[in-house]
């Protein structure tokens, strides 16, 4: 782009007045309060180009900070497209990326070797474990992960071991481990991620000539997503900001949703006082969403106190009303979502332009199952599909051992998880023993006689303690097998999760709450599987013609494991294929879609129950809902369920308070009858308590009130019906076994 006056005018041509004011600011600090979809990335990039074009600064005099490598690359690409310059030497990147660059340049001054290596999270945990082993630290009392959190928490707050508050034996020992860990990293010439920022901060803080050098160099400092900065990041930025620097901070306090990562929303107000001095430009024109969506978002977020304040608007018109659907159950909700997705897809909306959002990862299981059954390709954005998650694979491995202890893969996955002191060397010896004997690892483990059931006694002279631990694991599996022999499937899984130690392990994990929710959802999946007759029940139970009479049906657990394996391996769209997007609301930040479904809008789910016990927790949840709403361009669905299966039991819920905080005039309550065709007339009532009637007609040959027979559950009467074709389900009240939902594609009901 030309640097002539005409070129500069062309640069500003498509900007609205507020954007243009932000881009053309004189040499002064300012806070740019940029709402969702207001073009903040464009403003930030154009500001950089404007400064260079007008000769106010050279490319090397700019420091631009983003939060993701993706955003940094996008910014560099845009700058290169707008200016005929080589951007490689520009300081544009993430906090950690720029800190690394600083330390590489001044490695001597920072006290690091020139070729220092960076530890990721797993590398860091391994380093902590090595240290604790060398120091002979009790890993049950001082869990390695908790030691890692202690170290990182203090570093991210700008504190070294000497600054850590140590008021009892436990905290003093943690501080000692922190100090020893730092010494180990220094000795080995490595640095973890928090260390990059802390050490670069310390370097600038104590080295005045170096600090002044960079202050003289960077006269313009630009920061994206300022609302997500933590305490140390803000302090790091201030060290670069000399008396003649202009700080250009772009952010949205209404989209601050990372308090759990240390983000400090107070930084924005502090920045306004320290640097901007009231120089605030609000970008309120939204280029993403229609008016009704923005009205809902504005009304919702206005409930939060201590906002800097803005009101999004659009020139695009009001658009369609926001659709609200109340389901009978979480399965009913999932079925509704699938129906709407199919309808939209038939109308020409690409699957990839639709997103299913949920508050926590565990909620994806019911949605995934419905999509799997309907053969709708989908992709879990920013995470793993339900049956591929670590904690689920652990639980399934224990279940596989119950039904087939010869499964070496399952054995290796959980023999030392949670940790039992069984190391790699012990497993190598076990594998050698199994190979020599021509047996499975399980059989080899059962021959280990390190300990007996009597504490303090040994059944075999000279056997190592590792052998006893291996034998202990074998006994654990046998004990679980005996304890669960006569239990229903859901209770089997519940018992396995508790008895194996998985539940306790994740309860003690700082980030284990989501994993516990997923494990509870696995219990729900099992309960639903049993309720529906095992999905493959009749098909797999039917003995092929000519088969021997002794042919045995696979157990319910075997069928469930097969179902989990099949669902894990099917319908995940490949790269480049059109697929529905599933993600948590946190993962959705920064994205936009034609149609958005926000599911599970119930009290204790969204807002999450933990928010009640956290300071400003409800306001953070409301900001999260605000982010979810503003992902939608044209169509927005909000759904909740009267009942939801939690921990294998049906729980009844109240609709989320966020629904009551939305303006009535932009809402349209759907029923089954008009779902997918609701763009027309808006309902005038707002009765969330009235469940939607189901399709009165169907093409299955069955109807409500009809007597039916099932091979496993006996005779009963159809009392409810939902779905069509392959997705059809009936609720049957059986005479002897109670009420159950059955998928007609599998249940093989017959008229009674």
User: Which 3 state secondary structure label does DSSP give 221?
Assistant: strand
DSSP string, 447-464: T--S--SSTT--SSTT--
Sign of CA dihedral 235, 585, 296, 654: negative
Polymer length in residues for the chain: 752
H or E stretch covering 347: none
DSSP string, 561-602: HHHHHHHHHSSBPPTTS--EEEEEHHHHTT--EEEEEE---B
In the numeric block, which tokens belong to residue 201?
Answer: 């901060």
In the numeric block, which tokens belong to residue 13?
Answer: 């041509």
- Round to whole Å and give the CA distance between 88 and 546: 73
Is the N-terminal amide bond of 718 cis, ω within 30° of 0?
Answer: no
- Round to whole Å and give the CA distance between 26 and 28: 6
* Location of structure tokens 């970008």: 283
Measure the N-to-C terminal CA separation of the chain; round to a whole number of Å.
78
The answer to whether the beta carbons of residues 306 and 325 sit under 8 Å apart is no
Q: Is 224 a catalytic residue?
A: yes
Of the candidates 40, 215, 323, 365, the residue annotated as catalytic is 40
* Location of structure tokens 């309907």: 374
- Round to whole Å and give the CA distance between 308 and 502: 44
The count of C-alpha atoms lying within 13 angstroms of the C-alpha of 11, restricted to the half-sphere facing its C-beta, is 30
User: Which 3 state secondary structure label does DSSP give 109?
Assistant: helix
- Round to whole Å and give the CA distance between 741 and 694: 15
Of the candidates 78, 199, 589, 631, the residue annotated as catalytic is 631
* Residues β-bridged to residue 732: 718, 740
Is the N-terminal amide bond of 115 cis, ω within 30° of 0?
Answer: no
Of the candidates 224, 340, 353, 619, the residue annotated as catalytic is 224
Query: For the chain, how long is the longest CA-to-CA vector?
Result: 92
- Round to whole Å and give the CA distance between 747 and 730: 10
- Round to whole Å and give the CA distance between 287 and 316: 8
DSSP string, 269-338: HHHIIIIITT-EEEE-B-SSS-HHHHHHHHHHHTTSSS------B-SS---SPEEEEEEEEHHHHHHHHH
* β 30-34/378-380 pair status: unpaired
Of the candidates 156, 225, 330, 532, the residue annotated as catalytic is 225
HEC readout, 669-717: ECCCCCCCCCCCCCCCCCCCCCCCCCCCCCCCCCCCCCEEEECCCEEEE
The answer to whether the beta carbons of residues 742 and 719 sit under 8 Å apart is no
Is the N-terminal amide bond of 451 cis, ω within 30° of 0?
Answer: no
Of the candidates 46, 53, 227, 255, the residue annotated as catalytic is 255
φ, ψ of residue 143 to 5 degrees: the values are: -65, 135
Of the candidates 18, 19, 41, 219, the residue annotated as catalytic is 41
- 413-417 — which CB contacts under 8 Å span 24+ positions? 414/500, 415/441, 415/445, 415/470, 415/473, 417/505
SS3 content of the chain, % helix, strand, coil (to 5): 50, 15, 35
The answer to whether the beta carbons of residues 66 and 41 sit under 8 Å apart is no
* Location of structure tokens 């910014």: 75
Spatial CB neighbours of 461, under 8 Å, sequence gap ≥ 6: none
- Round to whole Å and give the CA distance between 171 and 542: 62
Q: Is 255 a catalytic residue?
A: yes
Distances (CA, A) of 223 to 29, 76, 237, 238, 241: 11, 14, 9, 12, 12
Catalytic amino acids?
Answer: 40-41, 224-225, 255, 631
């Amino acid at each position: 782009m030309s640097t002539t006056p005409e070129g500069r005018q062309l640069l500003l041509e498509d900007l609205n007045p507020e954007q243009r004011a932000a881009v053309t600011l004189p040499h002064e600090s300012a806070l740019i309060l940029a709402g969702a979809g207001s073009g903040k990335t464009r403003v930030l990039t154009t500001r950089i180009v404007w400064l260079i074009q007008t000769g106010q600064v050279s490319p090397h005099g700019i420091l631009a900070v983003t939060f993701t490598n993706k955003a940094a690359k996008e910014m560099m690409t845009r700058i290169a497209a707008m200016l005929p310059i080589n951007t490689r030497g520009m300081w544009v990147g993430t906090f950690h990326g720029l800190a690394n660059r600083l330390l590489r340049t001044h490695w001597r001054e920072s006290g690091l070797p020139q070729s220092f290596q960076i530890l990721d999270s797993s590398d860091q945990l391994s380093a902590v474990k090595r240290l604790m082993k060398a120091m002979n630290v009790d890993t049950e009392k001082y869990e390695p992960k908790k030691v890692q959190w202690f170290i990182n928490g203090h570093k991210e707050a700008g504190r070294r071991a000497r600054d850590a508050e140590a008021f009892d034996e436990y905290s003093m020992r943690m501080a000692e481990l922190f100090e020893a860990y730092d010494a180990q990293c220094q000795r080995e010439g490595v640095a973890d991620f928090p260390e990059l920022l802390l050490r670069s901060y310390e370097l600038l803080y104590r080295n005045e000539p170096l600090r002044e050098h960079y202050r003289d160099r960077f006269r313009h400092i630009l920061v994206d997503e300022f609302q997500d900065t933590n305490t140390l990041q803000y302090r790091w930025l201030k060290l670069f900001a000399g008396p003649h620097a202009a700080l250009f901070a772009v952010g949205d306090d209404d989209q601050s949703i990372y308090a759990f990562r240390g983000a400090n929303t107070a930084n924005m107000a502090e920045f306004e006082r320290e640097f901007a001095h009231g120089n605030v430009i609000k970008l309120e024109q939204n280029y993403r969403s229609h008016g009704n969506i923005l009205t809902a978002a504005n009304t919702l977020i206005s409930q939060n106190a201590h906002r800097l304040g803005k009101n999004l608007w659009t020139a695009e018109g009001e658009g369609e009303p926001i659709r609200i659907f109340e389901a009978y159950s979480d399965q009913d909700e999932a079925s509704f979502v699938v129906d709407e997705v199919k309808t939209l897809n038939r109308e020409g909306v690409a699957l990839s332009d639709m997103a299913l959002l949920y508050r926590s990862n565990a909620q994806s299981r019911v949605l995934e199952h419905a999509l799997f059954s309907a053969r709708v390709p989908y992709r879990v954005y920013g995470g793993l599909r339900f049956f591929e998650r670590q904690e689920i694979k652990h639980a399934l491995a224990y279940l596989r051992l119950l039904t087939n202890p010869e499964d070496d893969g399952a054995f290796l996955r959980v023999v030392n998880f949670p940790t039992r002191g069984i190391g790699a060397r012990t497993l190598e010896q076990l594998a050698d023993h199994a190979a020599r004997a021509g047996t499975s690892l399980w059989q080899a483990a059962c021959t280990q006689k390190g300990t007996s059931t009597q504490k303090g006694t040994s059944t075999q002279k000279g056997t190592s303690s590792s052998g006893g631990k291996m034998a202990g694991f074998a006994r654990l599996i046998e004990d679980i097998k005996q304890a669960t022999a006569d239990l229903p499937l859901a209770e089997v899984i519940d018992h396995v999760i508790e008895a194996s130690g998985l539940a306790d392990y994740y309860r003690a994990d700082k980030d284990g709450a989501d994993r516990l929710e997923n494990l509870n959802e696995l219990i729900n999946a099992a309960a639903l599987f049993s309720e529906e007759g095992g999905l493959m029940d009749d098909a797999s139970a039917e003995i092929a013609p000519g088969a021997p009479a002794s042919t045995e049906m696979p157990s319910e657990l075997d069928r469930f494991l097969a179902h989990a394996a099949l669902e894990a391996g099917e319908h995940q769209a490949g790269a480049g294929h059109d697929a529905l997007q599933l993600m948590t609301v946190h993962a959705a930040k920064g994205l936009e879609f034609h149609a958005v479904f926000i599911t599970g809008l119930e009290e204790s789910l969204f807002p999450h129950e933990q928010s009640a016990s956290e300071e400003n927790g409800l306001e953070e949840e409301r900001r999260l809902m605000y982010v979810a709403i503003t992902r939608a361009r044209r169509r927005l669905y909000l759904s909740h369920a009267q009942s939801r299966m939690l921990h294998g039991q049906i729980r009844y819920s109240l609709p989320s308070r966020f629904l009551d905080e939305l303006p009535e005039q932009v809402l349209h309550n759907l029923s089954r009858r008009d779902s997918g065709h609701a763009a027309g007339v808006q309902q005038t009532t707002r009765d969330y308590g009235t469940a939607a009637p189901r399709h009165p007609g169907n093409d299955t040959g069955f109807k409500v009130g009809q007597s039916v027979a099932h091979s496993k559950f006996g005779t009963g009467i159809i009392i409810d019906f939902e779905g069509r074709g392959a997705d059809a389900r009936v609720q049957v009240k059986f005479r002897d076994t109670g009420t159950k939902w059955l998928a007609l594609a599998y249940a093989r009901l017959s008229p009674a």
